[in-house]
Amino acid sequence: MDSFKKDLVLLNMVQGIGYIRLKVLLDEFKEPGDILRASLGKLRSVKGIGPAIAQAVKDAGSDHDIDKEIMLISKAGAEVLTVFDKGYPENLKNIYDPPMVLYVKGSIRKEDELSISIVGSRKCTYYGMNMADKIAGQLAAACVTIVSGLARGIDTSAHKGALKAKGRTIAVLGSGLGNIYPAENRPLAEKIAQSGAVISEFPMQMPPDRNNFPRRNRLISGLSRAVLVVEAANKSGALITADFALEQGRDVYAVPGTADRLSSMGTNSLIKQGAKLVDSAEDILEELKIGKDTVFQ
């Protein structure tokens, strides 16, 4: 790993820095190494960088073991892509706040630009799981990459549906690659990495903190051309993903559910608000003008 990337990885480990603050610092200092070598006074003088962040950046080298982090990346068989790298996902690069650093186990390919996210509730019904599995498989068979969050329920069904169709799928984590959550999906994550990718913007050993998941959700939508919500209650995290999709200019689709089920109220509400009703992959393929003969240049 070259020094530029190594320094970015270290800065990414600083809690609270995020894309916006890191971009401000890069605009000011140009090189990540210059940020790490800057005096506390110079860091504090940068607009938007308060005393706490300035101190955390100054202490980054002593607070975080970058050599251990690089060892963990290598041990996991992963790689790091930065927003400056050629292989960084093009869809993601174009959102408002793409992660500067992306940990990838598996591979990101050019054809993954044609991606659909499938998300929904962890506490779902058989109907929801079956629909997620079926539609994911249909889309994957049409050369569409399926993106989801590796969570229990709908996410798991979407990943499995794509794999059964021998298609590509990408799992986006709310934790580090060295801390797969939920634990029972570790074998699934390994299968996904063999033919697709498991990715995270978080350091390798980051636990699955609840505050990480909204950040994860913006990547799920950001990687995709559109988001399909399958069975979500009114306060489901899947609706956060739908909100991010709208902010990012992505289309939102929803599978209708039984009117009196709490687990369908979120998806039915999305349809009332204008999300396209979907009951098969054909609805999405027609809307996005995707055919099975899609050719990638």
What is the amino acid identity at position 26? L
Q: Give the model's pLDDT for residue 294.
A: 46
pLDDT value of position 296:
33
3-class DSSP state for residue 96?
coil
Amino acid at 79: E
Q: What's the CA gap between 190 and 253, in Å, rounded? A: 29
User: In angstroms, rounded to a whole number, what is the distance separating the alpha carbons of residues 10 and 1?
Assistant: 12
**DSSP conformation class of 144:** P
Q: Which of the listed CATH numbers 3.40.50.300, 3.40.50.450, 2.60.120.620, 3.20.20.70 matches domain 106-287?
A: 3.40.50.450
Q: Kindly state the average pLDDT of the residues 264-288.
A: 89
Share of the chain above pLDDT 70, in %: 98
Rounded distance between C-alpha atoms, residue 202 and residue 181, angstroms: 13
Average pLDDT, the chain: 92
- The predicted-structure confidence for 10-19, as pLDDT tens digits, reads as follows 999 998 888 8
Give the residue-averaged pLDDT of 245-267: 87
Overall average pLDDT of the 208-216 stretch: 89
> Do 103 and 219 meet the contact criterion of CB atoms below 8 Å apart?
no
Q: What is the pLDDT of residues 167-204, one digit of tens each?
A: 999 999 999 999 999 999 999 999 999 999 999 999 99
Where in the sequence of the chain do the CATH 3.40.50.450 domains occur? 106-287
**Average pLDDT over every residue of 3-7:** 94
Query: Which pLDDT belongs to residue 178?
Result: 95
What confidence category does residue 291 fall into, taking pLDDT thresholds of 50, 70 and 90?
low
CA-to-CA separations, 73 to 18, 202, 205, 287, in angstroms, rounded:
20, 12, 10, 39
Give the residues across from 119 on adjacent strands. 229
Question: Going by DSSP bridges, is the β-strand pair 276-277/226-230 parallel, antiparallel, or unpaired?
Answer: unpaired
Average pLDDT over residues 88-102: 94
C-alpha radius of gyration, the chain, whole number = 20
% of the chain at pLDDT higher than 90: 76
Fold of 3-64: DNA polymerase; domain 1 (1.10.150)
The three-class DSSP label of residue 52 is: helix
Whole-prediction pTM: 0.92
Domain with CATH 1.10.150.20 in the chain: 3-64
pLDDT of residue 287 exceeding 90:
no
Structure tokens at 61: 């080298």
